[in-house]
Amino acid sequence: MRSERVGRTTDEAHVEPPLVVDVDGSLIGGDLLIEGIARLLSASPLGLFALPFRLYAAMAAGTLAGLIAKYVLDRRFVFRERAA
């Protein structure tokens, strides 16, 4: 008996790996925020004083981006406004 590959195309041989998201901490050992703070402090110890301002700026930027996206989506889909 000989085994043959039946039904396989050349495209199936080049399948890309799936995107993996680590949500439960099983792939990444540490906390990325703590690692980032450690890297900041190792590069510049005076960066500790700027850290609260950087964190607040990052939170404000993320909140603003979320509010803008929510406004655009609500305006388009909730109020059924058509783009000109």
Provide the sign of the torsion angle of the four alpha carbons 53, 56, 57, 58, taken in this order. positive
User: What is the percent of the chain where pLDDT is above 70?
Assistant: 75
Give per-residue pLDDT as tens, 55-78: 899 999 999 999 998 888 887 777
Rg (CA), the chain: 24
- Say if residues 54 and 44 touch (Cβ distance below 8 Å): no
Query: What pLDDT does residue 2 have?
Result: 47
- Say if residues 41 and 48 touch (Cβ distance below 8 Å): yes
pTM, to two decimals: 0.48
**Residue pointed to by tokens 């993320």:** 62
The DSSP-derived string for 42-83 is HH-TTHHHHHHHHHHHHHHHHHHHHHHHHHHHIIIIIS-PPP
User: What is the percent of the chain where pLDDT is above 90?
Assistant: 23
Q: Where are the domains of the chain?
A: 48-84
